[in-house]
Amino acid sequence: MSRCFGFRKKWKDIKLKLEDEVRDIKDNHKPAIKNVHAALSSESRLGSNPPKDESKNPDKPPTYTYRELATATNNFREESFIGEGGFGLVYKGKLERTGQVVAVKKLNHSGLQGDPEFLVEVLMLTLLRHPNLVTLFGYCAEGNQRLLVYEYMSLGSLEDHLHDLPPDKEPLDWNTRMMIAAGAAKGLEFLHHQAEPPVIFRDLKSANILLGEGFHPKLSDFGLAKFGPSGDKSHVSTRVMGTQGYCAPEYATSGKLTSKSDIYSFGVVLLELLTGRKALDDNYGRDRQLVEWARPMLKDRKRITQLADPLLRGQFPESVFKKTVDVAILCLQEKANNRPCMRDVVAALNYLASRKYNPNKANTAEIKGTEDYSSSGTNTSNIGSPIGTNLLNIGVDREQAVAEARMWGETWREKRRKSANSSPESHDGLYT
């Protein structure tokens, strides 16, 4: 009896934490939260009633029994194991009743994350749906078991394709890297600008960007996510969490969390894509932090291409590479207010990703100063100028830089409108 009482008290404490987390959510989200709370507090019912497939109703998170998930993963055997994170171990499984292949995350009770993160992840992914966010199919909360059931992302994480590649694994080519960068940016843009209330991801890193068929990227692992500041508040004060090497400096030192903290982390991921280096690598001694290692080359325009991942073997358009580095520089500004918003980042990366690299026509993807913009009617006097000559805390002209990023995006969209009825091959490789 005392054990049961203690368990219920624990859940009460956890639910109070979650209620504090979502106290500023608007009225139209209250039904979803009510359903999440009700489902998570009825663990005894979950063990006795057959699970229902409620995944089509975003306000009612679907549930699975522990037995069903154990069967799906061959009792969580080693051959089903596919990865590990802060939450626990991840297994590949196949649901008997639907035949669907899924990824099952099983909470490690001795790990860094626990019941509060489990609750937050269920809530976030119940409320949030987007092509660049991983889909939560359901969960299990029987007794002390905590499991999350996701869509299976067949190509693993971005981290798996950038670092410590086995000899038989092909490195990502330039076009794929840019597609992944643009897609991940869209997921973050949705969280910051379209979700209501806005969401701060707080743990963006290459390991949390999963890749599906065709290398389609999706953000995953929302256990540390926070709802953004409400009212006239400028930030959320919180215990510093996240992954070393990705944390924004102002968040790491003060615990003041804003959407700009995510943008810094995205800049680190972008540098990973460009360089192939880990965000933090103890093998490099003093240069173990990627941003610090890259800093001298980022300051010197003549050395920027030295950043390029050797595994690219020089197969990338130099001017597009430099512009992408410029975007990373903007994201990595020391002062949070100098970083762009994700809408600006998406506008820039959409354009840059559209400049496909063709090794047989290597010059077709290059950005040739004002020449590419002459048909748009846009003032192009600054297009060819370097955005990131002054790095990080040295004071980039943010307004000019963001204006250029917007200009890239607007010019790209204008070209698409003008060429809607034209052959793709006639536009300098823009759509090929």
Q: What is the CATH number of domain 158-426?
A: 1.10.510.10
- Specify the DSSP class assigned to residue 63: B
d(CA 328, CA 264): 9
Rounded to the nearest 10 degrees, how much is the dihedral formed by the CA atoms of 297, 157, 105, 132?
A: 90
d(CA 398, CA 377): 23
pLDDT at 35: 52
pLDDT at 395: 41
pLDDT at 270: 98
Domains 2-151 and 158-426 alike in fold: no
Q: How far is CA 212 from CA 218, 267, 302, in A?
A: 8, 22, 36
pLDDT at 197: 86
pLDDT at 379: 33
Pairing outcome for strands 256-257 and 209-211: unpaired
Helix 318-331 vs helix 342-354: crossing angle, to nearest 10: 170
d(CA 84, CA 17): 26
8 Å CB contact between 254 and 239: no
d(CA 130, CA 342): 15
pLDDT at 225: 82
Q: Which of 126, 150, 115, 147 is nearest to 31 (CA)?
A: 126
298: CB partners within 8 A, 6+ apart: 304, 307, 325, 329, 388, 391, 392
Q: Would you identify the CATH topology of the domain 2-151?
A: Phosphorylase Kinase; domain 1 (3.30.200)
d(CA 189, CA 327): 15
Two tokens at 203?
Answer: 């743990």
8 Å CB contact between 170 and 153: no
| ∠ CA 235-133-86, rounded to 5° | 70
Rounded to the nearest 10 degrees, how much is the dihedral formed by the CA atoms of 400, 344, 325, 294?
A: 100
232 as an active site residue: the answer is no
Q: 330: helix, coil or strand?
A: helix
Question: What residues of the chain score a pLDDT lower than 70?
Answer: 1-61, 86, 109-114, 229-240, 362-365, 368-432
Instruction: Parse the chain into domains and list their residue ranges.
Output: 2-151, 158-426
pLDDT at 104: 96
pLDDT at 5: 41
Give me the catalytic one of 164, 168, 203, 372.
203
Residues 114-137: tens digit of each pLDDT? 577 788 888 888 889 999 999 999
Enter the pTM of the model: 0.76
Q: Is 361 annotated as a binding residue?
A: no
Query: What's the full length of the chain, in residues?
Result: 432
Compute φ and ψ for 144, nearest 5 degrees: -100, 10
- Residue that has been written with the tokens 């250029």 in this structure: 404
8 Å CB contact between 40 and 142: no
